[in-house]
Each structure stands twice: as C-alpha cells, then as structure tokens.
Structure 1
C-alpha cells in the first residue's frame, strides 16, 4: 500500500477548484469595488465607507461558505483522519515489548555452529565488525515501517544487556563513518551498502581488537521495502558523486551506471545482485578471518541471502539468521549468543547457493508488452506505464518444492543447489522424534510424535510434518515434499519428553486437477507421511494408503468449501503463451520453461478483453447490457433501523434489507469511494467514522502520527514455527488497536516469497503456503475475535513490487494459483474468520485484481464463504483503477482520501444495485467490531469540527458587529453629510438673497 504523495496533493487541489475560484472572485470583487468607489464613483464618504465595509463583509461571507464547502467536502475525509486517535497504555507497551523479544527469541535461526562456537561464556568480550551492527534492520519501509515515537533496542545494546562486552572503539568507527541508514523508499531507493573499506582499518585498530577479544562477530545487513524489489544486478543502478548507489525507481524505470565504493573500485560486477556480498564486505570478511580464528556471522535481513561464502572460511564457526527484530527484539540476539536463550528458529525459506539455478531466476521483474502502447497510461507522480507482464513459469514448484522434487527426479544436485533447506535450524541441544502410525477417522489424519531432549541444554524444537504423494508421470503435478502440519514443543529440559499430537485433514493432501472443469482430487495410492528436521531430511516416515480416488465435488466439497472448487482462472495462465515447468519425464522441459520470455506481445484474444481507463466506460456499458433490466433499489427509506441493531446478525438477515433501503445514493457513494484509512460515518443510521491504519508489524496512523510498538517482521514470526506466538501477535495488535481507537488493521500480508529479491518479503511470511496461512490466520482470528477487522492482503499475486502499478499481468496456472498463492488467503477466511480483504495492484492474468470477478466473487465469496468487504490497495487511479468497475466485480471500497477515479457517478439501477451490495459488505464488517458491541456508539464530533464551529461563531459575531458598526457609522456620517449639506444650502440661499438686484436680471438697454 502507498502513502500520501504528490498526486494526492494535486488531486486535492483540483477537487477544490470551484471553491477556490469563488474565494478568488470574492476577493477580486471586493478589491474592485473598493478601488472603484474611491476613485471613480461616490464622493459621499458615508456611502463610500459603507460600500467598503459591506463589500468585504460580503466577501468574507462568500469565503466562509466556500471554505465550509471545502472543509465538509474535499477536505472532510483528510481532516477526519487527522483526529480521533488514542494513545498506547503502559500495559499495551509492556506487553508488546515483551512479545517482541519472545518472538525474536524463537525467530532467530542458528544455521552453523561448528566446534561449539556458540554459546559464548558469560561476560565474554566480543569484537563486533560490520557497519550494520551500528544500524541494524528493525523492519522495512513503506506501510510496514516502524513508528519513530518509540525507542528501539539496538543490536549492540542487546548484546550488552545480555552481559557481553563489546568493543566500543569498533562501534565508534562505524557510527563516525555513517550514522543514518540509506533510505529504501517507495519512489526512489538508496541501495548503497555503507561499509568502511578494509584499507581503512589501521594496524593499531586491528591490534586493539585482537587484544580486546579472540572472538569476532561480523554483521551483514540487507534492507527492503514497499515500492521496489531488490536489484538483481547492482551494476545497473545509478551512482551518486558521494559513492553511494541509488536505484531511481518509478515503479519500473531505472538508470544504469556502475556502482563504485569510495571511487576506488566496483563493489559489484555485472550480474551480481543485492543479496550477494559486495567487494567491500568480502574484503572485511577476509580481514576478520585472517585475524581471528573464531568468527560468528550474523545475517540481519528478511530476504534469504546467498550465504554460500561462509563455507569458504574455516574461521567462520557459526552463522545466525536474524530477521528484522522490531523495536525491542534485538534484546534476544544477545541472549542467544550468551546462551541465556536456546535458539529454536527454523528457516521460513530455502537458502540457495546460486540464484541462477532457481526456477524463478529468469522470470522476476517485468516485461513491457510491445503491442500495447495504445493502452499506455499516465501514472502521474509515478510516471508513464505500458501494460506489462511476469510469468510464474515454475507453477507449483515454488521454493523447496522445486529443489526437493527436482533432486528426487535427478534434475539437479541438491547439495550443490541448496545450502540451508526450508525448515532448517540448529540448537544448543539435540532432540529425538518418533511418530506413531497415522490413523484416519472422519477425514482426519492423526498420530502422535514423541519429542525428547537428548542433549545437555534446555530448549524447544519444531515438529515438521511433510507428505510425499503418489505421482504418475505426465499426470497432475505434485511435489515430493509438502508441509502439511507443524507444532512447536514446550521448553524441554535435558532428558524430558513431550508427546505432540498431530492432526490434519486427509483432503489437505489433495491436488488441484485442472483437467475438464477442474477440481480437487485425492488420488489413490501410497502417501508417505514423515516427520522431518527440514524439508530435505526425514526423521521417520510412515505409509498411508488411499484405497480409491476421492474427487471433491458438490456433494463432497474440499475443506469446507461452500461450493465445489472448479476452474475459474483459465484466462490467467496465458492460454498457451507461457510454458510451465512440469515434472514429466524428470523435468524434461526445465530449460525451456525457466528461460526468460521471448514473446513480448499480448495475444489478440487478451488484447480485445483488456480493460483500463481508456475503455472502461465501454466495458461498463457492456456489463450493464449483459445484466439486463434491474429494478432500481430503494433508497432513502424511513425504516428507523440503526446499524448497531445488526451487531452479531447473519450477513443474510432480513433486517439488512431494511437498513440498506435507508441509504441514499450519496451516502453509499461516499462510503464506497472514500474508504482510505477509515470506514466512513453515516449519521442517519448511527454509523460512526471508524479508523483503519497501516500494518503489518505495527499500527501506524499516517495522519495523526499515532502508532504502536513495532513487532518483529512477519518473516520472523514464520521462522518461530510457533502458532501460539502468532496468536499472541494478533492479541497484542488488537489490544494496541483499541488503545489507539482503531477498528481496521491493514494486515497481515500473506503473499509468497516466490523470490528472495521481492522488496516486501519482510511483510510476508514464507515461501510455503501452509506456514504462511497458519501464521496469518492465527493473527487474524485473534484480531477478529477482539472486535477489530484485519485486512488480509494483497489479494492476490502481489509477490513482487517492481512495476506493480504498471498494469502488471501476472500469469500462472490454476493449480499453482490455488495450491500456492491463494492458500494462505483461503485459510485466513476459513480458519481466521477474516471479514476484510485488501486486493492487489496487479492484474491476475488479464484482469485487475481489484475488479476480478473470478477472484472476488466466484472463489472468495461463493467458494470460501467470505462475508465482509474488499478494499482496493491505495487508490491513485494510475490509469486503470476504476471504482465502478470494481464494485461490478466484487469490490466494495476504494482506499482513497482524495478524488481520482474513486467516485461513482453513474446512477443507473445496475450500478445502484452494486453499490448497495458493496455498502452491505462494508457495514457488515464495521458493525461486528467492539464499537457496536454494547449498543449504539456515542457520536463524537471531531476536534477540527469543534474548532470550525467556534471559528464560525466568532467570525459571525465579528461580521455582525462589523455590520452594525458600519451601519451606525454610515448613519452618523450620512447625518453629518446631510447636516453639512443643509448648512451649505442655507449659506447658498443667504448668499443668493444678499446679491444686488442688477445681478439677478440684465440691465435695460
């Protein structure tokens, strides 16, 4: 989601044009009258002064009316957003700070620990190298950023608080070098990696460090944020004179120059990406490993970095992955290093040795359609856009599913490709796990796993359950490894055991079969159910036989679907223009499928059905014709129903019709069109304005600057593999939300880590849909149960940032869409009870996600049973977002605060009927919040309105006083002028009377 930008400002000024003209005219008229009566008109001072006064009084009244129209018109939403926010209670702060540490305790993952390098002895002294140690990654940028009002626990402070002694001389070197972190913003990004060169370390400095401690820690940091993906080729970013690099990103455009560090050398060669070590960092690692024999590397970032280099140095004994920690989470890093906390994190993504070997490598980013320039749009502040595309060629083989299956088929050497598998993580102790035989009852697969701590330190671990389904060559695509369930143990003391109960639906092992009409099918055969230490290494395996095929249809729907899942996205796969990776014949088409696209033209079939702002009116006209005659819905009825009366009632309760009949066209248009950061007020039905704010690691009100404590990133939450921590995350958000008078949370985000280069991976959970879905739905359930609504986002396929506003056609096949990309959203509806959705900027196939009937109606509502409302992502228009198109296809509200194309002006019966249903979803989510739980909420007048009313009262009194004074003075002046005129007349009469007679008549001749 985007924040306020220059387009907003321009649009806001444009929306006030009429009122600003009135103000200008009023001022001009007053000035003209003032000048005219002075120089060219009246000689009477009384009338002159009166016209002066009344022209300015009239101008002031006109200006007051115009300003009132602005305040209660174009500026109304913005002003309301700037009021009505609470503050965090001490209890909420304490809970959030404690939770942040607890999440980070279990989210940090130990990747290497040779020679028992860790934990460190109590009170150990350590040298902490790397500029990132002085300015670590707390979160990301954009909507997921931290609120700067609250203090942060730094990485160094976290180590010191754990009793470790750090080399302050080294830390000072880094803070003196640079104090601020380069900004990775939404419009432009500074991708520089500040790091003093190896040559800058003097012999004296290295001697001091070696005398200080024999232990060295090297911290490497990588940032990410909304609006741009991480550069895959750092040689194609612009270099600034100071030596730092910036990618000038107008959501797709970039300058190309070499990146130079300090003007001495290229830090990156062609083809080297942001997730590889820079030359300066390589030199630092060489410097440290040549001076210290016991080195720990800490990688601080949400994007799975290429860490293959750590194996090149025998001195690197231990490696930790520390994803973004939030505002207080770095306290846990010191505790882990010092052994006060035993690490139990597991990787939420696969760490690979060579990105070029990944199935996604040649197909991330975007390609412009060469034959679509006639659909070019003006993205305003973000530049010009041509319709573009990206191909999800790997199909279902995302992340570990590709590497595990390709290795099993002999298509790659696993150890050469993968460094740290998905679900991998070490501990300071060891565990054994044994599983009982699985049983099936009422469609549930169940068994027990006994976990025993076989080591010498207390700790936790995860129980990871995978299945390997039967596969027929050339049949339905299937991965050899599929996470199906997981649990986290309690903290076990040495020798202690715990029996963990595992249960999942047998239908969770079904695959989506696109043949025919499509549907889920559980094929007959042997399913290997295993408990694993990670996606690649099995601990124990059992065989579960499915005797006969199960097809999930209308009489037996899949996982509680309201209607049977069938093909709805046939036009999203490119209709033959994309070759998808297939397991057939041992991935025989691997090279062909994963190659970069060569066809950059959209087929005539898709071009004819493509919709953006250039042809949306024709599309809507055709849509109305296709719907036929529709009865005009009732509006403005007097049924005396108040919204609070619908609290807890079913979405289809008959009372809703009576309430909806009361809404006027204007009320619905305002509610739908201006839903940015708020759920608008409708006083006639007792609907109060409600506040919706950014997430996902915090609650951030961009207008009042009020916000919550920032929790660790979603990637960190996923790396805990602890459902309870995700639930506690949701509870903390809800508690802070109530403190801040918030009802809507723009989170959690649950798109897939398709590539480690995606800019918003810190906001998303994992490369795996089940891990993502469990964590997301756990957070959502707690938020919803507490009386708020959580916007699961971005629905769907917003798995990259580059060119997301450029009408980005995201092509994927229906099996991958359902099994990978929609799965977390499905779980969030069915298990989390979500009543709010944020749609995505991109196109799903050939249709904008915010107006995609198949996505928003056929699947979300009809199939999954969703009740609530769908909000667009930030509504800037951008040449393709249209409010009317959205509501015709399942959208409900526009995330807008100013006028763009978010206003609905068509008053046809068809459109009003869609507006009514859109309002229904918005109001359903709104009423089922804590605001209405105890009856009719108190209607509060915003602070700005109190100020306005007070100002109007004062100005009115002043105007009345000015009018009275002007009239009084006029009467005095008029009387004086009249008296003076009378005196002058009398004098004239007397003068005339005293004149000689001969002067009165001509002399006789």
Structure 2
C-alpha cells in the first residue's frame, strides 16, 4: 500500500517549477498584448487576440510536453506500466499460499483428540471475527483487491463443513465491516455482540445443529501503529453501554469483556469447544486452559488470499498440521522485560528540536524527538523465558502458555540423536525421525545449544536455536534421517564489554534436540578445549570484516538486563525510564531536519567532484567489475548534478533512467506479502504473513515463496521489491 508523504509530493512538483514559470511569463506577455490591442481597430484587435491565444496554447502544449518528458517522465512511466501476471503463474502462487497455510497453522491444544472434526460435518462458528477475519498485515502488508479472497467461513465450507448460518447472519447484522486499522487511522474496536443478545432460541438451535462449537478470536496489526498497550488511550467503541470492554490499563492482546462473556456463554452450552486465534501477534492465551470445555485450539496468523482453505482442511483432517510457534506465548504480557520500555518516549526538554511537517493525511503535525531503551539486551523472546526459568527468576509453567517452537500433530513421532562429530570446525550429527502414530505427517527437528556461563561474564542464554530441519511427509511407521550441520563458531557469544568481539569460550556445550525451546528430547556434550576470540585478522568464516563495537556512544545512562546472580538487576533494568530529559552533551550533537544547516559542513578545502565527463562508459559495461575498480569512479564522473539530484528526488518505487551512463529506468513494487504496483493497480496474489511463513519451519517453502515472487516480478517487468524484513519481535505489541 502506497504511503504518501506530502512533503515528498511537494518536492516532486517543485521540479516542474521552472517550466511553469516559463509558461507564466508567456501567459502574462500574451495577456498584456491582448489588453494593449483594445486601442487598435477591430480587424487588428481580432488578429492579435487570436495570435496571442494561439501563443498561450502552444506554450501550454510545449510546457506540458517538456514536463511529461522531463521531470514527470518517470512518474508517468510508473503509472502506465503494462506488465501483467499470467493466469498460470497466479494459479501456482495460489497453490503455494495454501501450502504455506497448511504447514504454518499451529495446533496448540487437542484434548481427547477432538481434532480433526471427522465425526460430523456440521459446525457452529461463534465470534464476530469469523465473518471478518485477519488475512494479513496493514499498509504495505495488505492484500490486493484484484484477486478473490477466500473468507474463513468459505474455507470451512470448501472443506465440506455445513455451517450454522443463523450465527453468521447474526454477526453480519451486528456489523458488516471491520473497523479500520491502517496507515492513516486506527479504530481498535473489537465488534462482538453482547452475551445477552444471543436469544435462547438461537442457542437451542445451535445445540440442535451441532454438538461442536468453533470460536474465532482475531487481532489485527501492521504498518502504521503499534498495538495498544492501554486500550483506554486509543479510539475504541465499547460493545455495551453497561460495561467497558477494557478497563483503564488493559491491553489489546487480552480478551475483551464481551469476548470473555461470549466464551462463558459458549462453554456453558457446549462441551466440545475449539478456539481459533487468528492474528500474527502473540496474544495472551491463558484463557484456553481456564475452560474445561475448550478441548482444541489452533493458531492461525494472517492466511493471505486463500489460506483459510487450509484451515478448513486441517479441521476436517484432510491435512495434518505441522506448524510450530514462531513466538513465545506468555500468560501476562505486562510482565515481560520490554513491558515498561516499549513505544515512543518523548523528551521533556527538546522543544527547540520540534518540527512541523505535512504528514500522511495532508495535515500539519508536530514531530518531536523520542527514544526507547532496549534494556533487555540479548534476553529477547524464548532466550529470556528459558534462561529466567533456569536461573529461578520465574516459574515457567505459570509464565509461559506455549513455548517457542511448540506445535502438536494428529500423529506421534520419535526422534533419535546420533553421535556428534566435528571436522574442520563443522559439527554434524544425524537425527532419525519416525512416525509412530497412525496418520501421515511431518515433524520438525529443532537443535539448541546451552553454552558454558560464568556468573557476571559474557551474557549468554541457556537456550539458543542453532539449526532446524523439517521432514518430508512420513507415512505411519516410516522414518527419515535428517543430517544436522553447523559451524562450531556459530556458538560464539558476543562480548560487548571486554573483548568487544565474538568469543567461543572454553568449556562444555550442551547440544540438544528439542520438541520446543523448553522440552528436551535428547542431548550430548560438546567440549571446546580453548577459548577462541574472533578479533583482528581472526574473524569467523561468515564475517566479511572484523566484528567489533560500533555504537558505544549510544549506550546511554541505562542499566541493561544481566543474567549475573540470577538476574539480580531485573527490577532496576526493566523499570520505565528514570528520566525523559536529553543531556546537554547529546543536545550539543543532536541534528534533525529542524536544525540542520548544510553551510555548517562547508569546508574551503572541499573540491567539487567531476561531473558531466565524457568517459564513454555505460553502466552495463561494469557488470561484474570489482567494487574497487577505478572504472566506477570514471562512470560516476559522467553523472551531472541534475542526474544525481533526480536519482534521489525521484527514488520512490523506482530508479529513473540516466542517459549519461546508459542506465535504464527500473520499477520497484510494494510488499511484503505480495508484489503490487501501487500506480497501475497491477499486483499479485497475497501470500500469508511472514509470521505464518516462519511458523512452517520449512526452508523449502520459504524459498518457494521467494521464487514465486521473483517469477511474478519478472512477468510484471519489476526489478525491485519492498520485501519482508527481519524482526526480533521484542514485544508482542509491535505493529510492523
């Protein structure tokens, strides 16, 4: 989705100013001539007026052509691109969307083997979100309207389920559309009919229709805003005038009061309840264990264009789920190390740096300096929860609902770990996976290491995922041997205080295969006889340069979380910032657009680089030429100042053509879940969210996703993609 900054629009329009000024001069002169002609006789006056009018028209035509073939040429090219995706390629992408969802949906709970729902094809689906689920992210992560989207209810029907339409009609009558959570505005309302609005007849009809209830809970998030940590401080409309959905201080990733009441109602009327959590952010799911009637649960992040077909096939048993959680689901998100240090903290003494700018909505807004302290250091996600439990800081079973890497199956597996071997710094061992159940399925081999730790020494977590592999589909009784390989140096820890380098400390490393980050299947000890410090010329094999501290000056007056003495500084380190003031030292070096003056950086000894040289080189001539080759300087010398200016000024969703170096225009498209040209409206099928892809734990599927995007980009004539990015998920409330 295209995000337009009005300041950028103004800058682009400013490139047209000289042409418009020229037209204005011609227009004024012609107007003066027309006025002066009033003193002439009628014949001459008519002739001069007509010629002046023709002059104005010609000037307008010339100026428009000069603008269209000059500063606006690249923008017009963007808007008139003619690349299209073939039906065959789109069909292949749609199949891949559903394959990703089949392997990315996670089975969280399955008491009494309630799933799959093979005994009945009738199903009651509760929850307003069942009629308006989450398909992906917001902003750039949203889906294209050019392709049909399979809804959650359609996915169930396509899998052969007959649904209670009285319920779905009830929800759509309550509200047909989902409140807008996007780039420009956010309405965080969670529509849900109050429990007392379900009539007795409706509930009796539901019980007569089916003994099983499926409850859908959805949360949305994405580009534009973080999820509310206090719903009372954002736009939200309660579902009742009798009570609030969220009390002051309650957050978006817990159940609303109306959702809680709906669950109470459903569980009071049904003994077999399955919950589907539809959302990418790790919600508080402790409620799944508060009701005896909730026997099954699935995590279904954004499914993309047609991924809800996979949900239907998993519920029916046509597909055996094999997804694993890509986050840790905790009981209380206000008790995480990041809870007090998430969001934007505005300085209270930097008014002189405040700026006024035109924002996405076209309205002026004040932009003020802000900060956030990443106090947790390396203890992010499962690394914190596993280490904190091992150090006795937390009760793991009370704090964690579902570990990282957790996921159930409709079958059972065993994993046997072979002997570890080492050769030339590479560690290898085999794992034999056997399907011991009666249903075909896939399993994931997860490999973790626990390094030796010295109290107060280099910060290290007790659980570190270092390798993983997913099996092929194994029939009942079948086995597959997976070979695990990784470098010894991959177990090095970064010492930012002393060595300021990666260090592989001497000692025993526990290498284990786990069913998830918390539960070990088997392990072996690997000994490193001598400490290795990767500094100077002794870099790791994957380092392109020496790795050392780069931003010591950014550490600030902050206490960072340490494992020393069992996280003795936890309360101090994870507290909210003690001060919101910027120090005088940092003020003296603080620069933003409000106080930046380019003349401050003028230097009499500076020399203007060569521009506009005639070195007879073209960009294509340097394909494959070494980065440090002198020809690159010769090529850059051919650029004019205007070339460089327009390369930067017109750099959104494209790079412009530059004739001085024979460079062609390239087109970039938006992502990350699809490839869409925001100017022509041409786009691709929307894939599941990156969280869903991560939850497949399948490298081949991730590769296939990239290959599919590449094929579609080629057909669209696209060279660049605003692609998925890495994210440490330090907080479940992060929007983007």
TM norm structure 2: 0.96
Could you report, residue by residue, the CA deviation over 1:899-952 in whole angstroms, capped at 9, with x for unpaired residues? xxxxxxxxxxxxxxxxxxxxxxxxxxxxxxxxxxxxxxxxxxxxxxxxxxxxxx
Correspondence 1:3 to 2:28: no
**2:728 pairs with one of 752, 755, 765:** 752
Number of the residue aligned with 1:454: 436
**2:665 pairs with one of 669, 673, 689:** 689
Q: How much has 1:323 moved relative to structure 2?
A: 0.5
Number of the residue aligned with 2:61: 64
Correspondence 1:703 to 2:679: yes
1:365, 1:34 → 2: CA distance?
Answer: 63
1:725, 1:440 → 2: CA distance?
Answer: 29
Given the superposition, is the C-alpha separation of residues 132 and 684 from structure 1 closer, same or farther in structure 2, using an over 3 Å criterion?
same
Could you report, residue by residue, the CA deviation over 1:235-275 in whole angstroms, capped at 9, with x for unpaired residues? 1123xxxxxx2xxxxxxxxxxxxx52243321111111111
1:173, 1:24 → 2: CA distance?
Answer: 62
Q: How much has 1:455 moved relative to structure 2?
A: 1.1
Could you report, residue by residue, the CA deviation over 1:146-169 in whole angstroms, capped at 9, with x for unpaired residues? 111000111111111111211122
Number of the residue aligned with 1:184: 181
**2:590 pairs with one of 610, 633, 639:** 610
Q: 1:693, 1:745 within 8 Å by CA — same for their partners in 2?
A: yes
Correspondence 1:421 to 2:403: yes
Could you report, residue by residue, the CA deviation over 1:595-621 in whole angstroms, capped at 9, with x for unpaired residues? 111211122222222111234335x74
Number of the residue aligned with 1:637: 613
Could you report, residue by residue, the CA deviation over 1:74-132 in whole angstroms, capped at 9, with x for unpaired residues? 53332222122411111210111000000000100000000101001165111011111
Q: How much has 1:548 moved relative to structure 2?
A: 0.4
Correspondence 1:210 to 2:186: no
| Structure 1 consecutive aligned stretches of length 4 or more whose deviation exceeds 6 Å | none
Correspondence 1:77 to 2:74: yes
Number of the residue aligned with 2:471: 489
Number of the residue aligned with 2:371: 389
More helix by share: 1
Q: How much has 1:214 moved relative to structure 2?
A: 0.4
2:639, 2:227 → 1: CA distance?
Answer: 47
What SS does structure 2 have at the residue aligned with 1:265?
Answer: coil
Number of the residue aligned with 1:894: none
Number of the residue aligned with 2:580: 600
Q: How much has 1:556 moved relative to structure 2?
A: 2.0
1:27, 1:555 → 2: CA distance?
Answer: 69
What SS does structure 1 have at the residue aligned with 2:483?
Answer: strand
Q: How much has 1:20 moved relative to structure 2?
A: 4.2
2:386, 2:637 → 1: CA distance?
Answer: 57
Q: Which moved more, 1:485-494 or 1:71-80?
A: 71-80
2:541, 2:339 → 1: CA distance?
Answer: 34
Q: How many residues align?
A: 732
Number of the residue aligned with 1:357: 335
What SS does structure 2 have at the residue aligned with 1:112?
Answer: strand
Number of the residue aligned with 1:98: 95
Correspondence 1:469 to 2:451: yes
Given the superposition, is the C-alpha separation of residues 517 and 545 from structure 1 closer, same or farther in structure 2, using an over 3 Å criterion?
closer
2:465, 2:246 → 1: CA distance?
Answer: 37
**1:515 pairs with one of 463, 476, 497:** 497
Number of the residue aligned with 1:713: 689
1:217, 1:398 → 2: CA distance?
Answer: 33
What SS does structure 1 have at the residue aligned with 2:268?
Answer: helix
1:731, 1:122 → 2: CA distance?
Answer: 39
Could you report, residue by residue, the CA deviation over 1:643-680 in whole angstroms, capped at 9, with x for unpaired residues? 22333333334443443332222222222332110021
1:639, 1:680 → 2: CA distance?
Answer: 21
Q: 1:83, 1:704 within 8 Å by CA — same for their partners in 2?
A: yes
**1:325 pairs with one of 297, 303, 327:** 303
**1:55 pairs with one of 28, 52, 55:** 52
Q: How much has 1:566 moved relative to structure 2?
A: 1.2
Could you report, residue by residue, the CA deviation over 1:365-418 in whole angstroms, capped at 9, with x for unpaired residues? 111111211111123226102211101111110011111111111111111110
**1:730 pairs with one of 706, 713, 724:** 706
1:9, 1:746 → 2: CA distance?
Answer: 20
Number of the residue aligned with 1:303: 281
What SS does structure 1 have at the residue aligned with 2:430?
Answer: strand
Q: How much has 1:456 moved relative to structure 2?
A: 1.2
Q: How much has 1:11 moved relative to structure 2?
A: 4.5
Q: How much has 1:194 moved relative to structure 2?
A: 1.3
Q: 2:7, 2:357 within 8 Å by CA — same for their partners in 1?
A: no
Q: 1:216, 1:292 within 8 Å by CA — same for their partners in 2?
A: yes
Correspondence 1:144 to 2:141: yes
What SS does structure 2 have at the residue aligned with 1:187?
Answer: coil
Q: How does 1:549-698 map to 2 (within 5 A)?
A: 549-574=531-556, 577-617=557-597, 621-622=600-601, 625=603, 629=605, 632-698=608-674
2:265, 2:259 → 1: CA distance?
Answer: 10
1:519, 1:559 → 2: CA distance?
Answer: 14
Q: With CA pairs under 8 Å and 6+ residues apart, which has the higher RCO, 1 or 2?
A: 2
Q: 1:352, 1:418 within 8 Å by CA — same for their partners in 2?
A: yes
Question: Over aligned residue pairs, what C-alpha RMSD do you find?
Answer: 1.9
2:626, 2:644 → 1: CA distance?
Answer: 21
Could you report, residue by residue, the CA deviation over 1:466-497 in whole angstroms, capped at 9, with x for unpaired residues? 01001100101100001111110111111111
1:517, 1:529 → 2: CA distance?
Answer: 25
Number of the residue aligned with 1:853: none
Number of the residue aligned with 1:114: 111
Q: 2:510, 2:525 within 8 Å by CA — same for their partners in 1?
A: yes
Q: How much has 1:193 moved relative to structure 2?
A: 0.8
Q: 1:158, 1:330 within 8 Å by CA — same for their partners in 2?
A: yes
Given the superposition, is the C-alpha separation of residues 647 and 16 from structure 1 closer, same or farther in structure 2, using an over 3 Å criterion?
closer
Q: How much has 1:5 moved relative to structure 2?
A: 4.4
What SS does structure 2 have at the residue aligned with 1:560?
Answer: coil
TM norm structure 1: 0.71
2:345, 2:103 → 1: CA distance?
Answer: 40
What SS does structure 2 have at the residue aligned with 1:277?
Answer: coil
**2:230 pairs with one of 219, 229, 233:** 233
2:310, 2:223 → 1: CA distance?
Answer: 27
What SS does structure 1 have at the residue aligned with 2:680?
Answer: coil
Q: 1:126, 1:213 within 8 Å by CA — same for their partners in 2?
A: yes
2:27, 2:196 → 1: CA distance?
Answer: 67
Given the superposition, is the C-alpha separation of residues 558 and 153 from structure 1 closer, same or farther in structure 2, using an over 3 Å criterion?
same
Q: How much has 1:638 moved relative to structure 2?
A: 2.6
1:650, 1:173 → 2: CA distance?
Answer: 66
Number of the residue aligned with 1:275: 253
Number of the residue aligned with 2:422: 440
What SS does structure 2 have at the residue aligned with 1:261?
Answer: coil
**Who wins on radius of gyration, i.e. which is larger?**
1
Could you report, residue by residue, the CA deviation over 1:183-231 in whole angstroms, capped at 9, with x for unpaired residues? 1111210111111221221111111111110011000111112110010
Q: Please, which runs of 5 or more residues in structure 1 have no aligned partner?
A: 239-244, 246-258, 761-1005
1:171, 1:381 → 2: CA distance?
Answer: 39
1:640, 1:555 → 2: CA distance?
Answer: 40
2:723, 2:583 → 1: CA distance?
Answer: 36
Q: How much has 1:536 moved relative to structure 2?
A: 0.6
Q: How does 1:914-929 map to 2 (within 5 A)?
A: none
What SS does structure 1 have at the residue aligned with 2:274?
Answer: strand
Given the superposition, is the C-alpha separation of residues 538 and 282 from structure 1 closer, same or farther in structure 2, using an over 3 Å criterion?
same
1:669, 1:28 → 2: CA distance?
Answer: 31
1:478, 1:118 → 2: CA distance?
Answer: 39
**1:431 pairs with one of 398, 407, 413:** 413
Q: Which moved more, 1:18-27 or 1:693-702?
A: 18-27
2:139, 2:527 → 1: CA distance?
Answer: 49
Q: How does 1:808-823 map to 2 (within 5 A)?
A: none
Given the superposition, is the C-alpha separation of residues 517 and 568 from structure 1 closer, same or farther in structure 2, using an over 3 Å criterion?
farther
